[in-house]
A and B are shown apart, each in its own frame.
Chain A
Amino acid sequence: GAVVSQHPSWVICKSGTSVKIECRSLDFQATTMFWYRQFPKQSLMLMATSNEGSKATYEQGVEKDKFLINHASLTLSTLTVTSAHPEDSSFYICSTLKGQGITEAFFGQGTRLTVV
C-alpha cells in the first residue's frame, strides 16, 4: 500500500492565488521530506528539503517566499505555492526516506498544478 499520501492529485487555479499541497507519511514518522518539481520530459528537480520542527533548506534559485514549506509534525509536510503564475504550472512531488541511512525513496502520488 501507499507509504506517502499526497493531495490534491491535480489542481487548477487562477493567477495570483495560492495553492497548498499536502504530503503525509502513512505509517511512519518522516523527519525529512523532499519536495521536487518536474516539468514535462525533464527530470525531478529538488526544490527544498523540509525538516520537522525547523526551517526548510531551499535549493539555489528556488524562492523561499514563493514556495512556503511547513513541516509542523512528523507525518505532515506542506508546500504552498503563493501568488501562482502560469510558469509555476508543473508536476510537484514529495518524497521521503523511510528510516535512517540508506533506504529507497518513497514518493507521493504527485500534484499536477495548472495556473491559468
Chain B
Amino acid sequence: GQNIDQPTEMTATEGAIVQINCTYQTSGFNGLFWYQQHAGEAPTFLSYNVLDGLEEKGRFSSFLSRSKGYSYLLLKELQMKDSASYLCAGMDSNYQLIWGAGTKLIIKP
C-alpha cells in the first residue's frame, strides 16, 4: 500500500534550526512535495524534489533520497510565524498526491 510517515509534533526555539523527516511508500514515484498549513487555512506549496539531493530556497531546504524513500524539510533561522503544520506528500505514478498526517511545528521564544 501507499503510506507517508512523519512525526506528529515538534518543538523548536526561535532562531534555531529544525529538520522535519518524512518517509514514503508510493506506487511509482513522481516526486515529493512539502506544504505549509496554518490553522484554518489551505496548504501552501513550499518545495518539490524528484531527484536525490538538497534543494535550497531561502530559509527552507528540502532533501530527497529515493533509494531510502526518505525526505526532510530543513527550516533555518526559525521565526514565530513558522509555527504551522508541515505536510509531506508523495506523488505516485498516476500523479495522485498521497498525503502525510502533517507535523505540527511549535516555535518557542
Contact = CB atoms under 8 A, between A and B. Distances in A.
Interface of A: 6, 34, 41-44, 46, 91, 93, 97, 101-102, 104-110, 112
B48 to A, nearest CB: 6
A34 B97 CA distance: 10
Interface of B: 30-31, 33, 35, 40-45, 48, 50, 87, 89, 91, 95-97, 99-102, 104
B40 A91 contact: yes
Contacts of B89: 105
Nearest to B6: A43
Contacts of A108: 42
A104 B87 CA distance: 13
B40 A93 contact: no
A43 B45 contact: no
Nearest to B45: A104
A44 B50 contact: no
Contact of A43 (B41, B48, B100): B100
Nearest to B42: A107
B42 A109 contact: yes
Nearest to B101: A43
